[in-house]
Amino acid sequence: MAGQVGASTQASELARLLRESDSAVVLTGAGISVPSGIPDFRSPGTGIWENVDPFEVATIEAFHRDTRRFWEFYRPRFETLSEKRPNAAHEAVAELERRDLIEAVVTQNIDRLHHGAGSERVIEVHGSIATSSCTTCGSSWLLEQVEALFGDDGVAECTGCMGKVKPDVVLFGEMLPEAAMTEARELAMAADLMLCVGSSLEVYPVAGLPELTLSAGGRLAILTQGPTPYDGEADIRIHGDVVEELTALLSALG
């Protein structure tokens, strides 16, 4: 893109693409939740990930090998995350859905904040902290019920079969939920516009979704601060702050 393009110009351009579109989808990553005080886990040494390597603790192997240590890490994280609130960027995405400008939001985030902002069709491809399930019998508990499952050993245990209870988030080394990925792929293929917000688009298989939209003849708009592998193929590439830019988008839509 040549010359200086201001936030409002890009927001107007994005507003135009959204109005022209019939089947737009929003794809979000960690960047949309940073203004809510949730650090991107890919930025080591910040907040809840301080002194912890998530690739060592938040793996399915680690969960089974040393469940106590897993929960030692995850239990306070649960508490911290449950207190977080959606920000204006989540609210803008919910507003786009209310105005019938997007079909759904596909998110890599596990924080429930799209639901909190009022989005209705949310596809959580990395799962969510909203529930935890017994790894033996499949019984399920809401986030606020999990605390009561902990014994003195610091492990959350199923009240029925005494099996290990695990948060319904996708840990490193686990497969992504098949139904959610199928729905996400179908939305991506049917989309004439995919708006990617706050994702580096580097973590597969989610990173393959924009390719599905492009292959089917759809367009890409990308709003995120760092580089992405799709920057050269996007119709609009916005590097600004997610809250400022999505607020400007709503203004531009009028």
> Residues interacting with Zn ion, by CB under 5 A?
134, 136-137, 139, 158, 160-161, 163
Provide the minimum distance between the beta carbon of 165 and Zn ion in the complex, in angstroms, as a whole number: 8
How far apart are the C-alpha atoms of 239 and 245, rounded to whole Å?
9
Considering the complex, state which of residue 149 and residue 214 has its C-beta at the smaller distance from Zn ion: 149
Angle at 92 between CA 87 and CA 93, to 5 degrees: 105
Concerning whether 239 is annotated as a catalytic residue, the answer is no
How far apart are the C-alpha atoms of 50 and 39, rounded to whole Å?
10
Query: Residue 78: CB partners within 8 Å, gap ≥ 6?
Result: 129, 143, 146, 167
- Choosing from 90, 114, 115, 126, which is the catalytic residue? 126
* Residue 11, token pair as written in the block: 């927001």
Q: 242-253 and 88-98 are packed helices; what angle lies between their axes, rounded to 10 degrees? A: 30
Considering the complex, state which of residue 43 and residue 136 has its C-beta at the smaller distance from Zn ion: 136
Considering the complex, state which of residue 136 and residue 215 has its C-beta at the smaller distance from Zn ion: 136
Provide the minimum distance between the beta carbon of 178 and Zn ion in the complex, in angstroms, as a whole number: 22
Q: Please provide the distance, in angstroms rounded to a whole number, between the alpha carbons at the two ends of the chain.
A: 25
Considering the complex, state which of residue 31 and residue 167 has its C-beta at the smaller distance from Zn ion: 167
Provide the minimum distance between the beta carbon of 30 and Zn ion in the complex, in angstroms, as a whole number: 31
Provide the minimum distance between the beta carbon of 158 and Zn ion in the complex, in angstroms, as a whole number: 3
Tell me, what amino acid is at 76?
Answer: P
- Catalytic residue positions, numbered: 126
